[in-house]
Amino acid sequence: MVSKELETAINKQINAEFWSAYLYLSMSAHFANKGLPGFANWFNVQFREEQDHALKLMNYLISKGNRVELTPIEKVDTEWKSILHAFEDTLEHEKVVTSLINNLVSISRKENDYATENMLQWFVSEQVEEEETAQGMVDSLKLIGDNGFGLYTMDKELAQRSYTPLATAQA
Q: How far apart are the first and last CA of the chain?
A: 18
Supply the DSSP string of 122-166, one letter for each residue: HHHHHHHHHHHHHHHHHHHHHHHTT-HHHHHHHHHHHTT------
Over the stretch 134-168, which tens digit does the pLDDT of each residue have?
Answer: 999 999 999 999 999 999 999 999 999 999 998 76
- For 40, the domain range is 4-169
* pLDDT (tens digit per residue) in 87-122: 999 999 999 999 999 999 999 999 999 999 999 999
Say how far apart CA 65 and CA 128 lie, in whole Å.
Answer: 29
Q: Total structural domains in the chain?
A: 1
Per-residue pLDDT, 167: 78
The domain that holds 112 is classified in CATH as: 1.20.1260.10
